[in-house]
Structure 1
């Protein structure tokens, strides 16, 4: 029973001036449930409405002080009737802890036995923690008290106003929607400071204390630098009373922007070494979540058709502010190489949608959940970058600031923002928005040649574009670069006759490239020798697109990797090429017969690069690529024994588990050796690494054990991922084939039982290997039956499109 748009509109017309007082009891002997007492006050303009509350037990209800004997509770909703004017509702219940990241997530750390509970919320998830009007346009102040183990620290949306033993009371928040509620309790290790008159902090599990201390100075500096930069960009001050950030276990999202306490998946605090690429990406996430304090938290969408108002803006600002504010260079390389390619793929599937769809196109919350995708994030980011390029930064920020001030602590729509931008500029922003935000798909920018060899830029599509075009001499040196506008009329470039020409060379717009034969030949010869990181990034992304669509054959792509991967000197781009090649290219563009050759080409390129580089960050990326692809069991075994590669790269815990998994895949590591590695590690990450390695062993028994473990009723989201991803082996289809069929049979029931977040995990575990025509047809048949839950159906339809 996902909340529908019609229900939300009707309830918003009946209910106003809402407030919550929430009292949580996290103590007691029951490890499976916690106590929740919630007092709601609101004005009722009609006699009937409902609250959401999922899977409560022992529920009691009182309305205006009168107990209600028959609550009408169906496991998801509480019916309220006889309402008139100002109303007080008190609900008491026991609520379940979860292990799937959707609700009050509970985890016992295998490293030290300590327990942590954290409320991770998102769409339709607040109701899994406390009774509420679970919709974004019914914002309310929230007052919270929590009873917890006296040894624990409790962190929430507001500052602590009192603490007596294990009882914590927090300041009432400004008006926020229920999905932005947060509470995190456990024996956290904390680093705190004050800045701009506010308390700040970073928190992590005790077993990650060394890692938090290792990164504390950088995390503090990144946070304060981003905070100060936003203060320069935005007229509205930071709207909340504190800024805590917490690395939590079991998060389904990369992070969640809950005000006062942003939560991150604790994989963002890696054990051992942190590479420059990881540091930069983490900074972009920190800046992204901070942007939400204004886009999403201060000003909130009215309904989920405007998800982009949150995510596109935060994605754009995250990369921008991480570089301009916090000083992490190369964020655009990460966006263009690792995020934007996925948006092009998403925009050619049947499930594509406008960046800003109409309200009626998002009829319920489950449908809205499926729009948290590469369109709303990476494509929306790219569209905003094009808007800033087309509009100018001053006008863009002027319009944005007017919008934020006009709608502070309220709800707003696309029309509200476009109106503010239109007022700030002489350009027709409304028409721009219709073409860029209200339409799905993308244009193509083609390079053609006239009879004299003059390159001519031609647009295939309807949108106006402004982007940089760069011309190159045959030796790879730059002959010229300029910003051009391309619309209906072709743009000739007479000064660059006979030269290779790369349009959108810095990625300012969102459009497919089609290069002329001369430029294509130039790219195959000179790609790794071009000096500009962004140009190389755009050209690699172009290769990803062409091999996916078949415009570039797999052998030619493999040759490109063989020639240009090992000399690549940007670690972020190198990582992106490896991830894309060993991910979607291997699983969707390569047949089973072609997979070994692709894997071996990557291994050879990584080995050659390692032999020829003295750049530590490049060497780490190449070593990880070789660890995932080498067939030399003796070499990999020596790496484990020595704790470093033969070229001197130390194995951090993540790389060590990559080696263990690869040895297991090769049949060179048995269960006893894997268990020894797990005990050596002694952490949650070690448990997950061991599960994946055990599943990767090339035996029927190992695959059967992994599948059985993945189907355990209460398997955690992280353990499910480890088991199933380890099971798939694109070079051993015979071993995996039974589990492709089993996955298609059992996954819908798992998704139905576990909900939205776990459905995402299940969908992302789709077989990463060649799927037979019969299996593809079965997938289509299951989807056609209508028995697949909404979130999983969206992901499976995407996979079906990719297979077709």
Structure 2
């Protein structure tokens, strides 16, 4: 039973002045105790608290014990009189291993136990009884009973820790789904900056990695903090700022006020690449910006989730690049993130960046809009807004908005009012075409004689950079252009190659004129600016047919100097071309093309060598080469195999039938970590035997965690083993709906476990038939997107 918009509106009209006093007892490894005192004012009548599948429950209302109606989802509160009430719910709840609720994890390295409350849409109720909606923000006071030797973190500053009782300061009003709890024997690096206690934390077995990166993590945190202190007039809203790498988080990070939770993949074992550092700096900036957009000012309902995510995504890339000093962060956005937003905007599931409230009628629907539209497209659209308005007017409106609605809730209309007051431009007209309508325009280049002429197919005003080059791709100049209804001609650049949106300021499809297209396709790697190359790599890979895609990779990838662009091109080739577009009979030849393009002979640039080695690891059919890598723990050129590259090598060797279960188990023991366990799971499932596939499928349909299911699916659907896995296509379609009902995160991983090769018409009909039935919303979205992508 998902909370509906109408229910949320009715409850918000009835309740006010909500607060929570929480005590969690996580000392037992079997289940945990959740005690909450909920205080609120009401206009009177009936309402309900959400609480998911408590195994026992005691409820008092204003000190009197009651036996309420409870259906394992909602606690009914009947006949409340107008005024102030206190409801106390004392419950026992199960731990989870899927990252949705009070998650428990035992570290295979040292046997240590970790517990954490990982929340999100419809998940808070798995931790405590609550009014689980955004616009009933509340102060939260947390106490945790845990092992006295543990580190325990929550949103407020720790005020007392004695005999296993950890007490935290009361937060300002925040959405209850942003509560954070992290408990275990964490390794920590702590300090104070501008009066705010700060810390980075990781599992004890990752202490070496935390210490390795601690200086950089601290520097980035402080730089971002100082930057936001400069551009936002509202001060940092919370009393402390911890960032904790937690096991099995289902997303990259979560913006819990004062206590951001991070996926441990952001603290890699072994080598930390430049791309790793750029992405991590971007996420630091992204999550810290949420302290203002999401935490200080929150949406009223989920249709305005973009106000959280689009702003944070834009700020993340912008601040990492220009304030934190991670050059190339925007290159990574154009090459690796923005293409997915264009793809998403062409699917039937596309939606406006800012949909109407009625288009998000319940929380189940809301879980489907945290997607590449709300992130990648929203980021790009906001960048276009800043380009169009100017930074000064944009920040003036944003700051007025933040101050007006501090520790409260706000809507798109509230933001537009603030921007409209700050700018002479027609902000509402801009928002109508950019935020309220789905789809994107096309910017076309044609020639009037030799003169380049720009036209727009669509309805949106665009401001973007045009770059001009000689026919040998030497730079001539750049110009900011405004394009709307009327064509724009640039006669001074007659006879030159021209690239619209060369710096990625707008969100639109690009169609080069034939003259520019032919030269760019022939000599893309010769362009000196990696940002322009990023825009063009993304454009070409989006538009060329499979044969031309492979030809572009074969001719340009060996000459591409940016490791970011190499990695992005390889990733798109694997996911968009090899796995989705090519018939199985064409896959071996395509992999040979990729492997040849990833040749490592004499590569002097370590970052580029890392990206190429990763591509070679999944594309080569040379088992002897992979064997040599494992034996030397390095490539033939001496590049050390970090854990990720070593497991990629083992997996590909397993796909080729070149390694048996006993040796994979030896690799797992050699690794000795949770990541190694998952690497072994994937490799075992990838072996080309019927027995391996049967074992993988049985494990996938048993009692399995999200991360283990993902690892099994990656090994099951091996590209070169179509005949072996054909029986599991129908089995997957039949089993997926029930599996997806375990929770939204599990539903997402089940949907993403769609067979990684083209399906026959009969197999596609199985999916279409299943979609006519009762399918969880997240799974339905994933499957419909897969069908759309394969039909494109």
TM-score bracket, shorter-length normalisation: over 0.9
1:454 corresponds in structure 2 to 451
Q: 2:173 and 2:155 mapped to 1: Cα distance? A: 11
Quote the residue 1:559 is aligned against.
551
CA distance in 1, matches of 2:366, 2:709: 24
Q: CA deviation at 1:512?
A: 0.4
Shift of 1:612: 4.6
Equivalent residues of 2:299, 2:307 under 8 A apart: yes
Task: Tell me by how many angstroms 1:579 deviates.
Answer: 0.8
How far apart, CA to CA, are the structure 2 residues paired with 1:584 and 1:258? 34
Unaligned stretches of 5+ in structure 2?
Answer: none
What secondary structure does 1:566 align onto?
helix
Q: Which residue of structure 1 lines up, in the alignment, with residue 572 of structure 2?
A: 580
Size of the aligned set, in residue pairs, is: 790
Q: C-alpha separation between the residues in 2 aligned to 1:47 and 1:345?
A: 48
Partner in structure 1 of residue 7 of structure 2 = 7
Cα deviation, residue 505, structure 1: 0.8
Alignment match of 1:773 (pick from 758, 761, 764): 761
Q: Verify: 1:22 aligned to 2:16, yes or no.
A: no
User: How far apart in 2 are the matches of 1:278 and 1:664?
Assistant: 27
Mapped to 1, the partners of 2:471 and 2:589 lie a distance apart of: 31
Aligned to 2:745: 757
1:672 to 659, 662, 672: 662
Q: Distance in 2 between matches of 1:573 and 1:266?
A: 24
The alpha-carbon deviation at position 594 of structure 1 amounts to 2.0
Number of the residue aligned with 1:641: 631
Q: 1:440 aligns with which of 421, 438, 448?
A: 438
User: Counterparts of 1:719 and 1:32 in 2: how far apart (Å)?
Assistant: 21
Give the corresponding residue for 1:478: 475
1:102-129 deviation line (CA, Å, top 9, x unaligned): 1111011111111101100000110000
Cα distance in 2 for partners of 1:553, 1:724 equals 28
Contact 1:776 1:803 in 2 (8 A): no
Native 8 Å contact 2:49 2:75 kept in 1:
yes
Distance 1:196 1:165 in 2: 31
How far apart are the structure 1 equivalents of 2:263 and 2:504? 29
Contact in 1 for aligned 2:581/2:790 (Cα 8 Å): no
CA distance in 1, matches of 2:294, 2:674: 33
2:608 is matched with 618
Which of these residues, 624, 629, 632, is aligned with residue 622 of structure 2? 632
User: How far apart in 2 are the matches of 1:332 and 1:657?
Assistant: 29
CA separation in 2, counterparts of 1:606 and 1:744? Answer: 36
Q: Unaligned stretches of 5+ in structure 1?
A: 547-551
What is the aligned partner in structure 2 of residue 549 from structure 1? none
The correspondence of residues 340-359 of structure 1 with structure 2, limited to 5 A, is 340-359=338-357
SS in 1 for 2:598: helix
TM-score between the two structures when normalised by the length of structure 2: 0.99
For 2:686, which of 689, 696, 699 is the aligned residue? 696
TM-superposition CA deviations, 1:39-94 (whole Å, max 9, x none)? 000001122100000010110100000000x2201000000012121001000010
- Partners of 2:280 and 2:585 lie apart in 1 by 38
Q: Deviations over 1:240-297 (max 9, x none)?
A: 0000000011111111000111001101111001001111001101110001000000
Q: Distance in 2 between matches of 1:765 and 1:285?
A: 26
Q: How many Å separate the matches in 2 of 1:14 and 1:500?
A: 63
Once the two structures are superposed, residues 729-783 of structure 1 have per-residue CA deviations (whole angstroms, 9 ceiling, x without a partner) of 122211121112111110100111x111111111111111111111111111110
Residues 24 and 32 in structure 2, CA contact (< 8 A), matched pair in contact too: yes
Q: 1:793 maps to which residue? A: 780
1:570: how far off? 1.0
Shift of the alpha carbon at 1:500? 1.6
- The whole-number CA distance in structure 2 between the counterparts of 1:543 and 1:304 is 35
SS class of match (1:782): helix
Residue 500 (structure 1) aligned with residue 497 (structure 2): yes
Residue of 647, 651, 661 corresponding to 1:661: 651
Residue matched to 2:725: 736
Distance across 2 between alignment mates of 1:725 and 1:55: 31
Contact kept in structure 1, 2:602 and 2:637, CA below 8 Å: no
Q: Out of 582, 585, 589, which is 1:593 matched to?
A: 585
Question: TM-score normalized by structure 1?
Answer: 0.98
536, 542, 554: which is aligned to 1:539?
536
**Which of residues 348, 360, 367 in structure 2 aligns to 1:362?**
360
Whole-angstrom distance in 1 between the partners of 2:350 and 2:321: 30
| Counterpart-to-counterpart distance in 2, 1:221 and 1:433 | 36
The answer to whether the 8 Å contact 1:730/1:770 transfers is no
Of the three residues 174, 177, 180, the one matched with 2:178 is: 180
User: 2:473 touches 2:497 (CA, 8 Å); kept in 1?
Assistant: no
Between the aligned partners of 1:92 and 1:472, the Cα distance in structure 2 is 70
When structure 1 is superposed on structure 2, of 395-404 and 469-478 the one drifting more is 469-478
Which residues in structure 2 correspond to 1:240-319 (within 5 Å)?
240-319=238-317
CA distance in 1, matches of 2:377, 2:146: 43
Indicate which of 499, 502, 512 corresponds to 2:509. Answer: 512
